[in-house]
Structure 1
Amino acid sequence: MLNEKNVQQSNEQIVQSSASIRERYRFNVENFVLVWLGRPIEDAEEKELQRIINDIYTFFNIDDCIQFISTIKHEKIFIIISELFDEQNILQLHSYVQVESIFILNLDKETQQQKINYYRKVQGIFTNIESMNAVLKDSISQADRNMIGFEFAQNQTTTSVELKNKQESSFMYTQIIKNIILQMTDTDMNDMLVYCRTIYEGNVSELKKIGDFEREYCAENSIEWYTRDSFLYRMLNKALRTLEIDAIYAMRVVIRHLDQQLRSLAQQSELTLPSVLFRGLSMPNDTFERFASNVGGLVSISNFLSTTGDHNVARMFASGNEEITAVFMCIHLDSTMNLDIAVASTDTQSTFEGAESEFLFSMGTVFRMLSVEQIEKGLWQVELELTSDADPQMKKLSNFIQRNIYDPNGPLLMLGHLMSHMNEKEKANEFYKKALERIKDAKQNAIALNHMGKLHYEMKKYDQALEYCEKAVDCIQVEHYHEDSFVSECYDNIGNIYASQDNLDMSLDYYKRSLDIQLSLSPVDQNKIAEGYKNIAYILSQQEKDDEALIYYHRALDILLVILPSLHTDITFTYYFIALSLQTLGRKEEAYCYADKIVDQSFPSNQRNTEEYHKAVQQAHKALDESKLISIYIGDLNMYEKEDGHVIPWKDQNEDKKEIQTSHDACLPTTSTDRYFETCDRPSKYVIQVKQAL
């Protein structure tokens, strides 16, 4: 343990509590944090260190320090052990992958030098802070080159569906955020400046740079500012790497300017891009394993990516050890492809003045993985190819964005939709509010209010949800859009809210109003009419009017059998509700017939005379008798491979809990199907949590 013999202050004065550390840590916007372990840090020392790293945490015993280190997930840690040396402490700290480097500040350098030779992360023993800071700054610069955000869309041979879906979600969010940010047109930098000054409060050096930025920045010098050693580069790369939406939104204007300037440079340049660009880096072993398993798939780099046309320069930056893999990336550019990609030489704009023959790619650029090969001991070569929007996987991604996130009423609403998809409800609410502040058109205002109503409904804040949806209707009716399909949607949402409050009469009234509007429109939307019938049927069944409910369920089914593929999950769920109503009415044999139809959805016609099929039918009948969800016959769909909503049977039927999600209409309002089951916190039309598996 470190000796605290000269420390007189109480623990309350000198040691940050775990709670306060976590609270402060939430606002870290850089890739690195600095830990000072030992004697109290002096004000002058802290100011000097803040010129290099903004966030500094002080600890006076190793246990508190290690507790903090274990909470760090997205940053690298630089540690300064001040004044006193204990080899056991070094050994403990050295074992954490989060720890990038250790510096020892000790006047007794000679007697301790031999003891540190065995520790790779220890950068040396320093007798003064000035000499240490020079090495610290260089170490951070080297480490920063390796802080890159990689997101993967796995190739089709990936064996783990769960891993594939998780990775493709992150990949998708990166692309959606890019898509939204680049659509924005505002030029207001004030909220960015406020955000930066709040983050860097007390950091004299960075606050001065923020002031310089406010006076000097313009769209034409965005690349120059990005390549400076300042808050902008550090904040932007961290935010993009970790998809920190608050910081990304604050810096949206700069992001757009960087992308535009890269495109402008590419158009103005008389030089063609090289056929191959290079990047050398030290990649965490777990990230490299994802690379190696994704040959043939796509990889998105969420940051702005710096590359070079100089093979030798890139090789200099590829190094490895037991925690990281040396990687040499070769990026192939096909000059015959019509690539709408923001990439250009920045030699004339960068503060480095062409020292590295730099080419900069815009955020979220997507590459196809061609190969991963070991070219010499300890060095792996990764071959990548720049993709275009014509790539089949990218087309499917674009279709998903168009179907689920795109909103013609503006990018702020789209950010709200995205945050809601990511289960960031409070952030979604903030973006919807920002949209409301900027909207002047009455109908767009109503649309934003309706989205806020749906969001609060998902948050189970029903009174607020009702208030927003009613305001949306009032807004739209002032403009005399009484027969508009949007009013029908608002009525549906109000019906949902009343149903959740067990006010069934009011719910039924609004569902009928919604359906009346849908039936009066030309052309009619058969899918929405079927949904209206199901909503009304559900309420009638809750009112124990199952005879009437069956009439509406059958009307819905008649439509769905015409407009949807026969194995679609909407049809499967409708079979299920019909079976429940028939069971309630005591018409057991008819109910069993519909339970059989549900089972049929999961068995091809040539397998319906097998022992497995007959066993499944018996299980379905038993489940219906016990009012359990016939869960094992409702599938889990992948958004890329099964966009038609077909049912896929679960392979594992013995789990206690399952989540089910279809890709079909993922952003539509919650419907009667959702209300019957316990809904998850994710805003998908058919996301249901099954508590009772067979």
Structure 2
Amino acid sequence: MSENLESFSLLWLDRSVNASQENIAAQSKLRAIINHLKTFEKAEECEKYIRKCPETDRIVLIVSGGLGQQIVPQIDQLPQLSSIYVYCMDEKKNREWSKNHPKVKHVLASLPKLIHQIESDQIRKDNTEESSPISVSETNKPTDRSSIGLTSRYVYSRLLIEELIRMKPKSEDKEKFISLCEKQYQGNETQLKYLKEFQDKYTPDNAIRWYTKKSFVYRILNKALRVQNVQLLYLFRFFIRDICHQLEKYQCSTPVTVYRVQSISHDELQGLKRSIGKLIAMTSFVSTSLDQDRALKFRDNNSDLPQVCFEIYADPKVEGIKPFANITSL
């Protein structure tokens, strides 16, 4: 399979992972939840693969009880490992050893229950962990809304996006993007169905609707913005441009206070604590809620990452502010 264009990967470690029709059928169902699936029969190969992954990756691991006791103590502190599911015959026995490892979220003996649990958990992760890094200003002047003092990464990202928006998309950009996605989702009937719908029905006027569907478009764009995949963002510029134009069209005319719950790294949390009163910036589109209680419902109590609730006051009259809109009716 080609490079993973999404943030999450799913690994399945079991000596018989490919030995039964039930497991093979389960792999197709799991790919409908997390597309990038790799299977392993040996703990050493699985651990080697995980350690080679960047720390910014988000890995979900399914592991048998026996191999879990072998590999989990070696990897449970790795930041790229998001969560672990133990699929076994003896739930009681495996809950005993796994209770000392917080990243083990569930111990299950039923394959259908395992798939359902991963699907349920992933919906919540999509809301809180599909996010961009936070850049913090070095200046102590919160009123300075320019990019002065912000990290070079943020400044580069901002200039890149502005240039992509200015560029007129080519007619073949969308087809190249679709071709890339066809290779990425080969064999994944669920996402290929969404891709066909995107190919047939996408228009500039429904860009935001496609982004909020939380389908492949949402996940690919978020990762491309987070890791600054310039080649992919260049292909995606038609979509980025359309979203920005829609936000400008439906720009709020009065100030609003909105809320967002987001998982962040431990380093980002410490950076925020040290930066009270300073300017922060995010390098992607940010979905928020007007209702704080509603935003807090998206908290993922099983996440291994710290979670924060951002309260954002947005005033359209502020000079140089980026467009924002209430998209509930779109």
2:158, 2:34 → 1: CA distance? 30
Separation in 2 of the partners of 1:285 and 1:153? 14
SS of alignment partner, residue 266 of structure 1: coil
Q: TM-score, normalised by structure 2?
A: 0.86
- Deviation sequence 1:325-366 (CA, Å, 0-9, x none): 3322111223553555221111123xxxxxxxxxxxxxxxxx
CA distance in 2, matches of 1:263, 1:116: 50
Equivalents in 2 of 1:117, 1:314: separation in Å?
30
SS at match of 1:307: coil
Alpha-carbon offset, residue 166 of structure 1: 11
Query: Runs of 5+ in structure 1 lacking a partner?
Result: 1-23, 158-164, 350-694
**In 2, Cα distance between equivalents of 1:320 and 1:52:** 20
Equivalent residue, structure 2, for 1:57: 38
Residue 333 of structure 1 corresponds to: 314
Shift of 1:187: 5.1
2:251 aligns to what SS in structure 1? helix
Tell me which residue corresponds to 1:89.
71
Q: What is the alpha-carbon distance in structure 1 between the residues aligned to residue 281 and residue 137 of structure 2?
A: 11
1:82, distance to aligned residue in structure 2 (A): 3.5
C-alpha distance in 1 between matches for 2:277 and 2:194: 44
Query: 2:145: which partner in 1?
Result: none
Alignment CA distance shift 1:319-1:106 (3 Å): closer
CA contact (8 A) 2:125 2:300 kept: no
**Secondary structure of 2:248 counterpart:** helix
Which residue of structure 1 aligns with residue 122 of structure 2?
Answer: 140
TM-score under structure 1 length normalisation: 0.42
Distance 1:46 1:77 in 2: 16
Residue 154 of structure 1: how far off its partner (Å): 2.9
What residue is the counterpart of 2:279 in the other structure? 298
Q: Deviations over 1:6-36 (max 9, x none)?
A: xxxxxxxxxxxxxxxxxx56x1110101111
Q: Check whether the contact 2:138–2:149 (CA below 8 A) recurs between aligned residues.
A: no
Which one of 185, 191, 211 corresponds to residue 226 of structure 1? 211
Q: Secondary structure at the match of 1:68?
A: helix
Residue 155 (1) aligns with residue 131 (2): no
Q: Does 1:116 align with 2:98?
A: yes
1:303 maps to amino acid: S
Q: Report how many residues are paired.
A: 315
User: Larger % of helix: which?
Assistant: 1
Instruction: Quote the residue 2:260 is aligned against.
Output: 279
For 1:281, what is the secondary structure of its paired residue? strand
1:33 and 2:9 correspond: yes
Query: Aligned partners of 1:208, 1:348: CA distance in 2, in Å?
Result: 25
Q: Per the alignment, in what secondary structure is the counterpart of residue 306 of structure 1? A: coil
* C-alpha distance in structure 2 between counterparts of 1:320 and 1:124, whole Å: 13
* Unpaired runs of at least 5, structure 2: 141-147
Partner of 1:103: 85
Name the SS for the 2:207 alignment partner: helix
Q: Which has the higher contact order (CA 8 A, sep 6+)?
A: 2
Which of 150, 158, 167 in structure 2 is aligned with 1:184?
Answer: 167
Equivalent residue number for residue 240 of structure 1: 225
Q: Verify: 1:250 aligned to 2:238, yes or no.
A: no
Matches of 1:86 and 1:336 in 2, distance apart?
A: 55
SS in 2 for 1:341: coil
Larger Rg: 1
Distance in 2 of aligned mates of 1:109 and 1:243: 42
Runs ≥4 in structure 1, deviation > 6 angstroms? Answer: 319-322
Letter in 2 for 1:328: C
1:151 deviates by 4.5
Once residues 183 and 169 of structure 1 are traced to their aligned partners in structure 2, the CA distance between those partners, rounded to angstroms, is: 21
| Correspondence 1:481-496 to 2 at 5 A | none
**1:244–1:335: structure 2 CA closer, same or farther, 3 Å change rule?**
closer
Secondary structure of residue in 1 paired with 2:151:
helix
2-side partners of 1:114 and 1:242: how far apart? Answer: 38
CA distance in 2, matches of 1:154, 1:340: 16
CA distance in 2, matches of 1:227, 1:207: 18
Question: CA RMSD for the aligned pairs?
Answer: 2.7
Q: What SS does the aligned partner of 2:306 have? A: strand
Instruction: Look up the match of 1:43.
Output: 24
Report the Cα distance in structure 1 between the residues aligned to 2:123 and 2:204, rounded to whole angstroms: 26
Identity %: 25
Name 1:266's counterpart in structure 2. Answer: 251
Quickly say closer, same or farther: Cα 1:110–1:222, change in 2 above 3 A: same
- DSSP 3-state at the match of 1:64: helix
Contact 1:281 1:319 in 2 (8 A): no
Offset of residue 68 of structure 1: 1.3
